[in-house]
């Protein structure tokens, strides 16, 4: 561990913002200062504007002589476990200064930050979608390791996929129109014969209907973040640099589900669509199907190459597979749970990945990736018609 008195582990304060900006500008994976500035603006919003903080620290820093050398986020969260509400946290966005890593301090900083989180967390916490090196280090804390949350993929356009197979640009241009026609025909048949029901509409803001929807649906979901209107508006509507599109399905005037979509750049000339969140009654196949259809249409209009999502609830993934989503081989996001001794009665249930309703949106800081902020895309890119 780090020598006491040399480095302080403490909560982030508003007076740290300028030094936090310097910390992120030193990152080796950030080439543009404005990207670091955007990350700091998002962290500031995250740490000091989160409406459900319970007065607890949302971010920690490791400081040496007034210089920030590591950070770790902690999102105070309310979980629904079979309809019973439990307090907890998502731990995320660990980053250690490159200079400290070169000096061999990386492991000690990670362990010290983790110890601080354990000591100051009154409830259990979840670590989801860690980097490989962070995952290996955190396993040393003897946290409960769940199987990885699986990832599902579906082609939307065909050129990039065809080119990856034939590895010839000219041949790919010749073949891809025929592949595109085949895919469009398959979609037409799927859309025509799959059972779906409900009116899908764009949502500009989450209202009280979503709170009532939560109360009805979450007892049927298993383990999930409580997705109140306050939480959803904070995360997907009011966030700086937001890129998400929100769709909801109604039947006879009653809300039956919603989906959150986003388009991420992946590689040059390659666009990836993400189903960030999806929630409905797991047994309401027509509602889930309606959301899947609307999502695919949206991504087709946005001209993404492939769409993917993380889902652990088999009742949802069975519907996804009907729409040609396929589970990635050996692809998944790691999940660790800590402080489970603080919720002994639910420990066994929480320790089973099949009981969780994980989506990509549970990755508390997915929107802090530097590659997503390299170019702040116009909101109109995510406002295309269904």
List the one residue out of 196, 193, 359 whose CA is nearest residue 289.
196
Task: Write the pLDDT tens digit of every residue in 276-334.
Answer: 999 999 999 999 999 999 999 999 998 888 999 999 999 999 999 999 999 998 778 99
Concatenating the DSSP letter of every residue in 168-234 gives -HHHHHHHHHHHHHHHHHHHHHHHHHS---SEEEE-SS--HHHHHHHHHHHHHHSEEE---HHHHII
Domain residue limits, the chain:
8-148, 150-332+377-382
Q: Which CATH superfamily is domain 150-332+377-382 in?
A: Gcn5-related N-acetyltransferase (GNAT) (3.40.630.30)
β partners of residue 59: 73
Task: Write the pLDDT tens digit of every residue in 159-196.
Answer: 666 666 777 777 767 777 766 777 777 777 777 777 78
Q: Residue 216 has what pLDDT? A: 94
CATH class of 8-148: alpha beta
Q: If you average pLDDT over residues 132-140, what whole number do you get? A: 87
pLDDT of 224 over the 80 cut: yes
Q: Residue 377 has what pLDDT? A: 46
Q: Residue 75 has what pLDDT? A: 94
8-148 and 150-332+377-382, same CATH topology: yes
Tell me the pairing of strands 254-267 and 67-81: unpaired
Concatenating the DSSP letter of every residue in 7-50 gives SEEEE--GGGHHHHHHHHHT-TT---HHHHHHHHHHHHHHHHH-
55-59, 89-93, 363-367: range with lowest mean pLDDT: 363-367
Q: What element of type H or E holds 330?
A: strand 326-338
Quick one: tokens of 22?
Answer: 């310097």
pLDDT of 113 over the 80 cut: yes
pLDDT of 259 over the 90 cut: yes
Q: Residue 28 has what pLDDT? A: 87
Quick one: tokens of 202?
Answer: 């764009």
Q: If you average pLDDT over residues 9-32, what whole number do you get? A: 93
Q: Residue 159 has what pLDDT? A: 64
């Amino acid at each position: 561990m780090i020598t006491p008195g040399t480095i302080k582990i403490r909560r982030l304060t508003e007076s740290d913002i300028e030094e936090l900006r310097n910390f992120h500008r030193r990152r080796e994976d950030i080439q543009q200062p404005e990207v670091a500035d955007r990350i700091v603006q998002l962290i500031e919003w995250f740490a000091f504007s989160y409406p459900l903080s319970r007065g607890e620290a949302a971010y920690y820093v490791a400081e040496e002589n007034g210089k920030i050398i590591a950070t770790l986020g902690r999102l105070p969260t309310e979980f629904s476990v079979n309809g019973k509400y439990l307090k907890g946290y998502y731990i995320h966005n660990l980053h250690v200064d490159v200079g400290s890593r070169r000096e061999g301090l990386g492991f000690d900083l990670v362990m010290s930050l983790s110890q601080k989180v354990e000591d100051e967390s009154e409830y259990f916490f979840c670590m989801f979608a860690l980097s490989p090196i962070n995952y290996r280090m955190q396993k040393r804390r003897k946290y409960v390791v769940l199987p990885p949350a699986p990832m599902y993929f579906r082609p939307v356009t065909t050129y990039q996929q065809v080119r990856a197979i034939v590895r010839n640009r000219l041949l790919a241009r010749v073949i891809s129109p025929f592949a595109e026609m085949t895919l469009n025909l398959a979609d037409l048949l799927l859309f025509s014969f799959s059972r779906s029901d409900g009116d899908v509409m764009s949502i500009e803001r989450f209202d009280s209907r979503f709170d009532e929807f939560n109360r009805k649906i979450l007892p049927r979901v298993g383990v999930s973040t409580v997705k109140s209107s306050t939480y959803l508006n904070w995360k997907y509507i009011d966030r700086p640099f937001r890129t998400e599109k929100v769709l909801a399905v109604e039947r006879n005037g009653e809300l039956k589900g919603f989906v959150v979509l986003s388009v991420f750049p992946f590689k040059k000339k390659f666009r990836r669509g993400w189903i960030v969140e999806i929630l409905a009654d797991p047994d309401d196949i027509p509602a889930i199907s309606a959301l899947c259809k609307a999502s695919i249409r949206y991504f087709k209009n946005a001209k993404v190459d492939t769409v993917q999502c993380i889902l652990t609830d088999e009742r949802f993934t069975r519907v996804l597979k009907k729409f040609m989503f396929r589970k990635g081989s050996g692809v998944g996001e790691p999940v660790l749970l800590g402080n489970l001794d603080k919720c002994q009665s639910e420990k066994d249930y929480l320790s089973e990945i099949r009981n969780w309703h994980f989506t990509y949106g549970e990755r508390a800081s997915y929107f802090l990736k530097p590659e997503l902020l390299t170019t702040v895309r116009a909101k109109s890119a995510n406002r295309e018609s269904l």
